[in-house]
Amino acid sequence: MDKIKDIYYFSWLSLLFQCFVERIFLVFYYRVLHKTRVEFIGEKPCHSKNYLIVSNHRSMKDPPLLGNALRLPFAFIAKKELFDSFFLKIFMWLSSTISVDRSKTESSTFRAAKKALKSKALGMAWSSAIFIEGTRSKDPKLLGKPNKGAMFLAKLAKVPVLPVGISYREGKEILVKVGEPYEIDYKADLEDQAWDCLEKISELCDYQVPER
């Protein structure tokens, strides 16, 4: 299984699976049922560049929502508990989802994410996506405190960070704002960089930065 996974992950086959799901199933679910709007601050992300997509997290709908909004092939980093469900595990495997143990992040997680951030398929660059808060924020007004793991990955892979803000509004409306990609300061403290990224995300969504 591991050998098959190594060949399949971040390949053109996984890319085609993501495109099929996004174009056939997710368009109706998000664009029609949930009245999702997507706004880009500046130019849209380039399909030929690898990005580390960093977003806030409010709902279980967020991972496929990012795929539908950005239309970029990306490997999502998800908690390992989600792989306990057989059917969800198959779906995430087909989507090239990377498992992470939140109690003790393993080097294999970063190696897999770095591989994604160096991969290309059918002329399109793979990106990786991660929630900076690590888990869903349940406060109606505030974001959760940032996890510096996202910044460590950006430093490790040396790719630009693409901040995304997700806002859930009344009437089932969802607003996704995509910011300008930027390079982190590789010499600066990672925790400081994580808070800076959280502030950028806060400017893109309806939620405020918590006290540090």
Percent of the chain with pLDDT over 90: 62
pLDDT at 1 over 70: no
Q: 170 CB contacts (<8 Å, ≥6 apart)?
A: none
User: What does the DSSP 8-state code read for residue 40?
Assistant: E
Q: Got the DSSP string for 75-88? A: EEEEEGGGGGSHHH
Q: Give SS3 for 48.
A: coil
User: What does the DSSP 8-state code read for residue 22?
Assistant: I
Question: pLDDT digits over 34-77, tens only?
Answer: 788 999 998 899 999 999 999 999 998 898 889 888 989 999 99
